[in-house]
Amino acid sequence: MAQLILKPGKERSLFRRHPWIFAGSVERLEGRARPGDTVTVLSAEGKALARAAFSPASQIRARVWSFELEAAIDHAFFKRAVAASVARRAAIPALRGQEGVRLIHGESDGLPGVIADRYGDVVVLQLTSAGADKWREAIVAGLVQATGCAAVYERSDSEVRALEGLEPRTGCVHGGLPEGGLSIVEHGVRMEVDVEGGHKTGFYLDQRDNRLLTGQLAAGREVLNCFCYTGGFSLQALAGGAKSVLSIDSSAPALASARRNLALNPQLDGARAEWCEADVFKALRALKEEGRRFDLIVLDPPKFAPSAAHAERAARAYKDINLFGFRLLNPGGILMTYSCSGGIGQELFQKIVAGAAIDAGADARILYRLAAAPDHPIGLAVPEGEYLKGLACQVG
């Protein structure tokens, strides 16, 4: 087995069980290793530290599979890891009865570059690292064995695969998709899931609990949902008794899906829903000029900062939308604002939102720190604790 030798002092992160080894930490590779091959990671002094997947094209030069030096990285290893991940979700009371669940969350489950989401009897798999790609067959077999699912559909079309030197790959790798489309029920609301062409794996499961909270806060309120995508927050607001819901997105296909989702739920009063295809930034300015006000506003934009290099520009965009959000709130109104940008940390995001409230002249206080759903654990890849998605702020 090839050996990856680290530069002096670069082993400290591994002692903290961080699973990434960056190119700048590597002194040399001894032996031959192809993309995805398992290598032994050694300190500069020659001490064996971990077994990891080698990725010569990526700045993350290796991702740790195991810190147990005796571990054999083989088919059985991945079947055990997949089964353990599935079992962890089964043991979470809040996930019982949910038709949409994240089964594997990458590094947090000891499987770097592996995402697996279950929608009813279909599992959608996304492989984003060279190591995960190499062990595709074992991971698929593990998912089928652990879940008994009828189909596994691969959605390995994320842009980050290019950083690993990998081509996009999609399609069924086990069984076949059901005829007539796929849908799930989430907190009493039915939503279609487009596993072939939707964002990510077809749905944003991490916002499940925050959508429910939106419904719980919506009764009797006039709601504005920005970047609404397929209407998850909008439909939960309607289910919660919102007086009206205005949903804005720039994507016509996303809004068409949102309308279909509303039609799937005849128990909801569709007359209270309004859909608007527009650039959200322009739409917010227009609403301000019209003098519109709302009691509950949801801001769930796409990723503005994919990396720290984009943080400054992204911070301005987050500041702008939150500024407009605060200005459009009625007294006592609530702003639920989110970020999915890896380049914007928790402290920076809170500062951005606080700055927007000050500039808007709003007397705002944080009601809730909004975390990802419990099937999206942090694990040991980053500091332990809840994965903060956003904030819910109430104005005076």
User: Which positions are catalytic?
Assistant: 340
Residue 270 tokens read as 């569709």
As a whole number of angstroms, the distance between CA 302 and CA 382 comes to: 22
Distances (CA, A) of 105 to 165, 181, 227: 22, 25, 25
Please, which residues bridge with residue 366 across strands? 393
Instruction: Find the Cα–Cα–Cα–Cα dihedral 302, 378, 234, 99, rounded to 10°.
Output: 120
- Amino acid letter, 346: Q
Distance separating the N- and C-terminal Cα atoms of the chain: 63
Residues in the chain: 396
As a whole number of angstroms, the distance between CA 57 and CA 163 comes to: 7
Query: DSSP string spanning 184-252?
Result: EEETTEEEE--TTTSSTTSS-GGGHHHHHHHHHH-TT-EEEEES-TTTHHHHHHHHTT-SEEEEEES-H
CB 272 within 8 A of CB 243: yes
Residue 291 class from Cβ within 10 Å (0-12 exposed, 13-18 middle, 19+ buried)? Answer: exposed
Q: What is the DSSP letter of 376?
A: S
CB 50 within 8 A of CB 64: yes
CB 173 within 8 A of CB 126: no
DSSP strand pairing (60-66 vs 100-105): unpaired
Handedness of CA 364, 365, 367, 370 (dihedral sign): positive
